[in-house]
Structure 1
Amino acid sequence: MSDQGKTDPSEAPHDKRGLTRSALEARQGRIILRKRWQRVVFIAGLVGIPVVGVALTWLAAA
């Protein structure tokens, strides 16, 4: 049995140039949170990072 007709996607030839974007286009990042649960998780993550930091600092001092 021959596997010559089957190709692994990870072995596909790649274009070394890739996608070209100007510096202005590359800096135009936008966070798109369409659903309510996505917004809640995002905000919880932003709030949770400093809360965990304060908690760890408080626990280390105790």
Structure 2
Amino acid sequence: MGDDRHDKNSDGGRVFSAERARQGEIILRTRTRRIIFIAGLVGIVIPAIVIRFAIG
């Protein structure tokens, strides 16, 4: 094989090794992005808690 950037699968998409594919990270460089990310997490947790107490 060659450099991962040039490897293609049969569908024409790029192929990455398992080691390289696991190297993701969340980059929240600006204050706005951090606020949106945290608001999204809160937007998932709060309704779950409300539904839990509404049912039980």
Name the TM-score class by shorter chain: 0.5 to 0.7
TM-score by length of 1: 0.61
Q: Which runs of 5+ in 1 are unaligned?
A: 1-14
After TM superposition, the runs of 4+ consecutive aligned structure 1 residues lying more than 6 A away are: none
Alignment RMSD (CA, Å)? 1.7
* Aligned twin of 1:42: 37
Q: Give the greater-gyration-radius structure (CA).
A: 1
Q: Which runs of 5+ in 2 are unaligned?
A: 1-9
Q: Distance in 2 between matches of 1:60 and 1:35?
A: 38
State the shift of 1:49 in Å.
1.4
Q: What pairs with 1:1-62 in structure 2 (closer than 5 Å)?
A: 16-61=11-56
Q: What is the count of residue pairs matched by the alignment?
A: 47
Percent identity at matched positions? 45
